[in-house]
């Protein structure tokens, strides 16, 4: 089911991009007014998932973005450091993720926190179904 969603999303994206390219080539839509691209990158995808599952406000999104960016940079730096033993690297990665999760939880309303806990308890992933 999740694969089907991914394939449908990819097909829709390709169709949308194709329409935009042909419209620009035909001169119907100037390049500056082309639709904004779909979210890309881990931070944007995670923000989109959080927005859909928790109904975040624009202010919450703006405050969560730097937390996710910082977390991802710390994890990237950790992976790049080959001198750290694997077990220690895993423990540090878990601590980085836990810290970011706690920072984000502080920005949520009580109802959003409860919804997030429910999602974690059920083990639901980004697609809304256990995969």
> Residue 93 pLDDT more than 90?
yes
pLDDT at 5: 62
Q: What gap in Å lies between CA 69 and CA 75, rounded to an integer?
A: 10
Based on the structure, what is the number of domains in the chain? 2
In this prediction, residues 37-62 reach a mean pLDDT of: 87
Q: 23 and 50: one domain?
A: no
Q: 12 and 65: one domain?
A: no
Q: Any alpha helices (H) in the chain, and if so which ranges?
A: 2-25, 41-54, 58-80, 86-107, 110-122
Model confidence, pTM = 0.62
Segments forming the whole domain that contains residue 92: 39-131
Q: 94 and 129: one domain?
A: yes
> Residue 96 pLDDT more than 50?
yes
pLDDT at 44: 93
Q: 7 and 71: one domain?
A: no
pLDDT at 75: 96
Q: 76 and 86: one domain?
A: yes
> Residue 82 pLDDT more than 70?
yes
Task: Report the percentage of the chain scoring pLDDT > 70.
Answer: 63
Q: 93 and 31: one domain?
A: no
Q: 88 and 118: one domain?
A: yes
Q: 57 and 18: one domain?
A: no
SS3 state of residue 56: coil
């Amino acid at each position: 089911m999740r694969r089907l969603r991914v394939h449908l999303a990819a097909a829709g994206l390709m169709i949308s991009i194709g329409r935009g390219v042909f419209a620009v080539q035909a001169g119907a839509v100037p390049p500056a007014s082309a639709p904004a691209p779909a979210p890309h990158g881990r931070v944007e995808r995670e923000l989109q998932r959080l927005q859909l599952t928790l109904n975040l406000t624009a202010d919450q999104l703006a405050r969560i973005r730097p937390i996710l960016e910082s977390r991802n940079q710390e994890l990237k730096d950790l992976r790049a450091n080959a001198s750290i033993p694997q077990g220690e690297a895993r423990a540090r990665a878990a601590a980085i993720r836990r810290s970011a999760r706690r920072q984000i939880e502080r920005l949520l309303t009580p109802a959003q926190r409860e919804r997030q806990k429910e999602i974690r308890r059920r083990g639901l992933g980004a697609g809304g179904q256990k995969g």
